[in-house]
Structure 1
Amino acid sequence: MNISIPKLQHTDSGNFFLMAGPCAIEGEEMALQIAEELVRITNRLRIPLIFKGSYRKANRSRLDSFTGIGDEKALKILAKVSQTFGIPTVTDIHESHEAAIAAAYVDVLQIPAFLCRQTDLLVAAAQTGKVVNIKKGQFLSGESMRFAVDKVKESGNANVILTDRGNTFGYSDMVVDFRNIPAMQENQVPVVMDVTHSLQQPNQASGVTGGKPALIETIAKAAIAVGADGLFIETHPTPATAKSDGANMLQLSNLESLLEKLVRIREAVR
């Protein structure tokens, strides 16, 4: 990677890096439990790890959907994960004023896909000096993401990551176009495949997002084979009880075997 992330380990391994964790921070015990297992697995496989957790879920299908346990409480949990395990953390922000608030607790600020064209948000994130991970809009091509990269870099911050999470045509499903990975790498920034969100089935009639978790391994293998620099995988000990995006998360107990396969693919294509 040609970016600098504090506390990121195993960058000399030649492996892809991993952004992983629960969709949302549901509580301290759960976050520490997941982080401990992620650290164990990635240390063994020498995979650089960034722990992911949303401190607040602003983009929900229904008004009564879970949004969080409280901003400061969740951000402090992310900080505790980082301090306890010595790993960097990432969380998403949704409005410009959130950038400085979240930056006080995490190492990477994530721009949600629906907001990747919001200039004020990108500039605010850039001005914190933190690494900015921009998710590609479901409605955009990989090539068009150069403008989002330019907004951050021209605001004085060269530490940018781009993440693909599939494309949608408004029919409650996502399609992954793997041409987007090399297209976004043309911007000379690391490119990540968001495996679990690319398998979402949003805007279901029930108002609860669905998903196709059985295809997680397929998308992850293809992304590494194409040359993705990193993977984004949301994981939970019991996805069925997760308060957000349980339908497309990977069960934590299945992560280690998947990563073992992906490391072998990475070695083969390197």
Structure 2
Amino acid sequence: MSSVSIHPTAIVASGARLGANVRIGPYCIVGENVVLDADVELISHVVVEGHTHVGAGTRIYPFASVGHQPQDLKYKGEASRLEIGERCVIREAATLNPGTAAGGMLTKVGNECLIMASAHVAHDTIIGNNVIMANYVGIAGHCRIGDNVTFGGTVVVHQRTRIGAHAFIGAQSMVDGDVIPYGMAVGNRASLAGLNLVGLKRRQFDREAIHRLRAAYRMIFSNEGTLRERTEDAAELFKDDDLVQDVVAFITSASDRPILVPRNGQVASED
């Protein structure tokens, strides 16, 4: 504890576990079942409650509410958990809730995520690594968000929705269906607007792999046959392509929500 810094105005419960070099700023409150790993910083006026584990190097900004009971009327006080990964940044007034008995008892945020001001992560949602949530993004309960997903500001995501890895969700969108990996969704209600080519290029995906992914996208979301038939055709034609198989597996796996498709059945330009 000698390396831990706790401001005199902070309240830290006796049962809380604090790693090396944890810094707890003015007027913060840390509950008795909280674990803060090494180098976590609560800047000021942060509340961390419940069975919450915050990974090493994460910084949480003023007025964030982390680990309070979920906004679910079915919650009955069960000892559900919230896990936040390493090197995350959680900005002002963000809210993150633990899980529920109906959803696996766990809400989880991966490593190196940026959750901007006033964003919300609801109960039982699982978020991957390197996810960026801009200001006022709201993720409802039971959602599944893949690695490297980026949300523009004021996006709302319907409960039990899946968003695949490397997807991009445009600002002010209301997403009520599943977004394929590498896809881009925009609108209220959102529709598929092509592939996230900017993100793929920034992350230095192979040029030829992107070309194959574009060809598969056009096949899967064309107007001939059913979505299932087109997906099966793409799976066979691109059977050795990892990116295409990611999309195929996502579409064919069970889900509570429909797959988002281009508006009016037209394949949008991805240029």
TM-score normalized with structure 2 length: 0.24
Between Structure 1 and Structure 2, the one with more strand by share is 2
Q: TM-score, normalised by structure 1?
A: 0.24
Higher relative contact order (CA 8 A, sep 6+): 1
